[in-house]
Chains A and B, each alone.
Chain A
Amino acid sequence: MTAPKLHPAQAKPRRRKTLHPEDVDKVGEALLTLTKELWVVKDRQMLLEHILKRHQIDVAAEIENLVPDAALEARLKIEREALIRKLMTDLVGES
């Protein structure tokens, strides 16, 4: 008896038409907004790790396995949704 085998899907699904050519300026704006947001976070993370190392605290493993509690998850959710809204606002533009 041979081992059970997988039967992965193979067909190509239909895709939506999304943005129009005239949306490209807004995509560029959104990308820059995203890059700025990402840099603010990376800057803060590097400062934090630098300060912690100065105090001889290694947090990398703890971060990797931390399950946010309800209060932290609520704060993360607010920040995450705000970030997405910023991008979405740029992409939609002024109507």
Chain B
Amino acid sequence: MKYVMPQAGRAALDFLASLSTVGRDLTAPQESALDKAGLSEDKLADDLGARAQQIEGVLADVPAWRVANLMGEWHAVHHGPLAVEAFTPIADALKPQFARAQQGPTTLTADPDFTPPKYWLYPIHRTAGGWDAHEDFGFIHGEFLQRYILSKIPRPPAAGNAPADLYEQRRLVAEEAPRLDYHDIFEIGCSSGPYTLKLAQVFPQAQITACDISHAQLLQAQRNANAAGLSWRLIQADGAASTLSDASQDLVTSYIVLHELPVEAIRDIVREAFRVLRPGGDLLFGDVAPYRAMTKRAAWRTDYLATYGGEPFWRGASTLDMAAVLTEAGFVDTKSYGLQPGNYPWVTYGRKP
């Protein structure tokens, strides 16, 4: 899709990216204050609430901590509206391109009667309105917030800290699947399709079906698929109630979806995956690392950023034993492990016997 972001919008999004980058300078004074207070790993509580009290009690007197919070709040409140503002001047010019990109081999089945689950009403990432903030939020999120801003800033502690190729990380997870000859692949929570595109590259012979709750995101996924000449089946559905037939898939997979869901929704999705997989089929999740795979300080910081960064279900997901959840649902050969330094992405795998 061809477009140029007008100057004001581009400069505003560049400012957001730099705010995150420069704000990292405020971490060192915080860590130094915690060192001085003697809060080493062995002194920090195992309980997350007690640990937060220990750490945040010290940081309350550290100006760098308060300014980091101020900058974090500004970013949280403003990133969604600024992205929409950057889009508005080019919206009309993009409409014909959107219409053309929706024509092609990828189909999109909407459900006009769809009722989203309650957790969907929380604005994930503090993005005003969430994934459905705007009728073109699939484009706005996929192009501006993900491709433009996130590719320019260091990743948070839970995602390895360093700048990273977000799309390459998705390919790495897809390549963890034990087979290359899948016929039918089902992706849960595809958003605008960044992981789906990697699935299509790694498994070029497979028929890919992908679902998402957001019709706005699915529209952008359809455009991305058609632009690449791909034939996906996109459906507006909850991954926990996919509408797919029993034993119809060879691989069920998702990328960084689970930590956005309450624990019960995760369990429902795993049960649904078991239902739609054929015997011998594989389940593969890529997500953030669990807290047990981090230092206590890194786990606290991740939990804090999640709590105030619009990720209310992160703690539940990151303290859940995913391999055990898969085993309870009937999967075998279950395993969980980190892929790169920092254990991101974190892979969970199981096979339906």
Which size class do A's interface residues fall under? 35 or more
Which size class do B's interface residues fall under? 35 or more
Which segment, of B11-19, B139-147, B274-282, B324-332, faces chain A? B11-19
Q: List 9 A-B pairs, minimum CB-CB distance, nearest first.
A: A9-B130, A9-B123, A4-B110, A6-B132, A8-B129, A4-B215, A18-B70, A18-B69, A16-B69
Pick the contact of B66: A2, A7, A15, A18 (CB < 8 A).
A18
With a cutoff of 8 Å between Cβ atoms, the chain A residues found around residue B66 in the complex are 18-20, 23
Pick the contact of A92: B63, B73, B216, B312 (CB < 8 A).
B63
Bound-complex Cα distance A44 to B76 (A): 31
A-B contact count (CB 8 A): 116
Bound-complex Cα distance A85 to B71 (A): 12
What is the CB-to-nearest-CB distance from B198 to chain A, in angstroms, rounded to a whole number?
26
Pick the contact of A6: B18, B111, B216, B312 (CB < 8 A).
B216
Pick the contact of B26: A8, A88, A93 (CB < 8 A).
A88
Known: A9-B120, A92-B63. A14 touches B132 (CB 8 A): no
With a cutoff of 8 Å between Cβ atoms, the chain B residues found around residue A14 in the complex are 307-308, 312
Q: Is B245 an interface residue (CB 8 A)?
A: no
Binary interface encoding of chain B residues 91-129 relative to chain A, with 1 for a CB under 8 A from any of its CBs, else 0: 000000000000000000011101010001111101111
Q: Which of B73-99 contact A (CB under 8 A)?
A: 73, 76
| Contact between chains at B215 and A6 (CB < 8 Å) | yes
With a cutoff of 8 Å between Cβ atoms, the chain A residues found around residue B62 in the complex are 95
Q: Is B22 an interface residue (CB 8 A)?
A: yes
Pick the contact of A67: B4, B18, B134 (CB < 8 A).
B4
Given A4-B111, A88-B25, A93-B63, output 12 extra A-B contacts at Cβ < 8 Å: A9-B129, A9-B132, A13-B122, A14-B307, A63-B7, A64-B7, A65-B4, A81-B18, A81-B21, A84-B15, A91-B70, A95-B62
What is the CB-to-nearest-CB distance from B60 to chain A, in angstroms, rounded to a whole number?
8
Binary interface encoding of chain A residues 55-70 relative to chain B, with 1 for a CB under 8 A from any of its CBs, else 0: 0000000011111000
Q: Is B224 an interface residue (CB 8 A)?
A: no
Q: Is B191 an interface residue (CB 8 A)?
A: no
| Contact between chains at B18 and A84 (CB < 8 Å) | yes
| Contact between chains at B69 and A11 (CB < 8 Å) | no
Bound-complex Cα distance A6 to B23 (A): 34
Pick the contact of A85: B25, B29, B76 (CB < 8 A).
B25
Q: Is B154 an interface residue (CB 8 A)?
A: no
